[in-house]
């Protein structure tokens, strides 16, 4: 599988990321040939969770200070309530989302991750899904929310929870494969 060969995907995360929502999509993207870079505020492993229960850690490749959105073809936003709530308060994370959306580059977000999309101000008129507990926040940000496993709207693919990873992973590979020109070409 090399559908994503030559494509670079940024993954934004902080402490409290949902383990399955980072490990499984990143594995699927790498298996499809993408170069994946995990980005955080510090270059140290982040703590993962299985819903409310602490799990293990996940390695970070770069910090926000070491990269720019222009270096990447696609953006993956894993969920986890703690991760997503903290990440939306990071100016560099909001700038990544805004830059990607302005350039119409593909963005994939699962579970609580659409909170960052709301905080970046890009949801007016968009259709998406998320973990059900944040649907009011997304509607208040101007989005049309639906309770579907995967929702695609232009350059955006969203999903509800780890239970939807069997549908989310193929959808993000398809979305990222639509990236027109690799950022580093």
Q: Which residues form the catalytic set?
A: 111
Residue 23, strand partner residues:
none
Phi first, then psi, for residue 74 (nearest 5°) are -145, 160
Does the pLDDT of residue 183 top 70, yes or no? Answer: no
Structure confidence at residue 3 (pLDDT): 86
Domains of the chain (ranges plus CATH)? 8-177 (3.40.50.880)
Structure confidence at residue 184 (pLDDT): 53
Place of tokens 């049309």: 144
Structure confidence at residue 181 (pLDDT): 56
Average pLDDT, the chain: 95
110-157: pLDDT as tens digits: 999 999 999 999 999 999 999 999 999 999 999 999 999 999 999 999
Structure confidence at residue 24 (pLDDT): 98
φ/ψ region of 78 (left if φ > 0, alpha if ψ in -120 to 50, else beta) reads beta
Q: Please, how many CA atoms are within 13 Å of residue 142, restricted to the half-sphere of its CB? A: 10
Distance, in Å, from the CA atom of 34 to the CA atom of 56, rounded to the nearest integer, reads 24
- A 10 A CB-CB count for 44 gives 11
Reading the block at residue 142, the tokens are 């101007």
Handedness of CA 154, 91, 39, 182 (dihedral sign): positive
50-95: pLDDT as tens digits: 989 999 999 999 999 999 999 999 999 999 999 999 999 999 999 9
């Amino acid at each position: 599988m090399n559908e994503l060969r030559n494509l670079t995907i940024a993954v934004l995360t902080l402490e409290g990321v949902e383990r399955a929502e980072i490990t499984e999509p990143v594995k699927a993207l790498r298996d499809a040939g993408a170069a994946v870079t995990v980005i955080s505020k510090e270059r140290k492993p982040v703590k993962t969770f299985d819903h409310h229960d602490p799990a293990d850690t996940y390695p970070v490749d770069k910090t926000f200070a070491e990269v720019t959105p222009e270096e990447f073809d696609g953006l993956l936003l894993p969920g986890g309530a703690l991760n997503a709530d903290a990440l939306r308060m990071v100016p560099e994370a909001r700038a990544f989302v805004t830059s990607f959306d302005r350039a119409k580059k593909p963005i994939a977000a699962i579970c609580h991750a659409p909170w960052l999309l709301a905080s970046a101000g890009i949801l007016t008129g968009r259709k998406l899904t998320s973990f059900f507990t944040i649907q009011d926040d997304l509607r208040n940000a101007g989005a049309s929310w639906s309770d579907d496993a995967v929702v695609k709207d232009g350059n955006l693919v969203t999903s509800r929870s780890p239970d939807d990873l069997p549908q989310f992973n193929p959808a993000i590979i398809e979305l990222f494969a639509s990236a027109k020109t690799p950022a580093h070409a």
